[in-house]
Amino acid sequence: MFRAAFSRSTTDTLRRQATSSASASRSSLRRALSTPAGEQGAPKPSSNAGLWVALAATAAGGAGYYYATREHPSETLAKLKAKNKATEESPVTASLRPLPANSPFKVKPTVIFVLGGPGAGKGTQCARLVADYDFVHLSAGDLLREERNRAGSEVGELINTYIKEGKIVPMEITIGLLRDAMVRSGKDRFLIDGFPRKMDQAEAFEDTVAGADFILYFECPEKEMERRLLKRGETSGRVDDNIESIRKRFVTFRDTSFPVIDKYRSLGKVHEVSCLDTPDKVYSQVRAIFDKMFAKSA
Ligand SMILES: Nc1ncnc2c1ncn2[C@@H]1O[C@H](COP(=O)(O)OP(=O)(O)O)[C@@H](O)[C@H]1O
Ligand SMILES: O=c1ccn([C@@H]2O[C@H](COP(=O)(O)OP(=O)(O)O)[C@@H](O)[C@H]2O)c(=O)[nH]1
């Protein structure tokens, strides 16, 4: 279903090429990426041999994993809730579907993609969710900025250029960072904030890390997002919280990221929340969704 929507995926190609172990180190990925081929028009495209190696390492082992087994999430959840009663397992960690062959997890983790345009309030709401529910919050943007700032990073400059231009950093970097952070946390419930921003990212993540249980989508008009981002830019120190970068980010969101939300919506996996209210009121909508799905940790 999800998979069928992709005409010819990156990972399909990679599966044919991949012979190396999926556990290739991040540093080797970075080395391979020092001549990146951008996902979205890298400033200077060059030989992509290294990229293939990195992508192969990231996606290797996904073969055999198939989305066709997925049923409608509401049916699945109903079954899982019943099972949960009997086994005390979390309704979602009991698994919506099998893990990909080379997932770093033994049991399927709970994964929620938190999506919305730039400045919609994803980070603000995730911070509240972490306080009330037992989730690890991983912001893809924060992880990229951390890597950009890491002394000795071989992809720092590249990340900075993509962020400033409002473009999407090559997925193998982002997925590598997310995967590492998930494993390092030692936990199994994740809010993945600001990712996936492109269809092939969604597919590669689901193929090599774990499937998403649902998508929490913050709907927000551009005018409001622009207002929030300009305000945030007064203190954030971010290279992209300025009007020029903001406009570019909106274009990327409209053209490249929104289709991901639409795709998941067609699968019945999107919970949409309007961000046009105070943070408290927005959060009460979010809580209504989470209270239905998860028992509170406190
Ligand atoms: N409901 C809201 N109303 C007004 N301002 C908000 C709201 N939610 C978040 N903000 C502010 O808007 C800016 C962007 O929010 P943030 O959570 O960083 O968005 P995102 O993670 O989606 O980029 C921040 O300065 C935040 O304080
Ligand atoms: O999966 C991701 C997430 C973020 N980014 C980059 O990081 C920037 C900032 O993303 P973040 O989620 O931090 O901020 P937002 O745009 O949602 O405010 C984006 O514009 C992209 O350039 C990316 O390339 N891939």
DSSP states along 219-272: E--HHHHHHHHHHHHHHH--TT-SHHHHHHHHHHIIIIIHHHHHHHHHTT-EEE
- CA-nearest of 22, 40, 20, 31 to 200 is 40
Supply the pLDDT for residue 3: 47
> What type of residue sits at position 32?
A
**pTM higher than the cut 0.95:** no
CA of 232 to the centre of ligand 1 (A): 8
In a domain, 25, yes or no: no
In a domain, 10, yes or no: no
In a domain, 172, yes or no: yes
In a domain, 286, yes or no: yes
Residue ID of nearest Cα to ligand 1 atom 15: 121
Residue ID of nearest Cα to ligand 1 atom 8: 121
Residues with Cβ < 8 Å from 67, sequence gap 6 or more? 1, 2, 3, 4, 97, 206
- Residue 58, pLDDT above cutoff 60: no
Q: Which of 77-81, 281-285, 292-296 has the lowest mean pLDDT?
A: 77-81
In a domain, 225, yes or no: yes
CA of 128 to the centre of ligand 1 (A): 12
Which pLDDT tens digit goes with each residue over 167-197?
999 999 999 999 999 999 999 999 999 999 9
In a domain, 75, yes or no: no
Ligand nearest to the CA of 125: 1
Supply the pLDDT for residue 110: 96
In a domain, 78, yes or no: no
Q: Report the CATH number at residue 229.
A: 3.40.50.300
Range of the domain at 239: 110-294
In a domain, 16, yes or no: no
Domain count, the chain: 1
Q: Is the CB of 233 under 6 A from ligand 1?
A: no
